[in-house]
Amino acid sequence: MKVRNSLRGLKRKMNSIVVRRRGRTFVINKADRRQKARQG
């Protein structure tokens, strides 16, 4: 999982979901499981 300042690029990918947990923002992609990142 990458820690990034901006998740905007990952949000645009197909099948990606933005999730908020414990005050952090995560991007999870079920189709391409390598595309995971968090912010905060």
**pTM above threshold 0.85:** no
Question: How many domains does one find in the chain?
Answer: 1
Amino acid identity, position 11: K
Cβ atoms 17, 27 nearer than 8 A: yes
Cβ atoms 26, 38 nearer than 8 A: yes
Q: Could you list the residue range(s) of the whole structural domain that residue 11 is in?
A: 2-39
What would the pLDDT profile of 9-38 be if each residue is shown by its tens digit? 999 999 999 999 999 999 999 999 999 999
At 9 the three-state DSSP class reads helix
> Is the pLDDT confidence value at 40 over 90?
no
**CA distances to 35, 37 from 30, in Å:** 9, 13
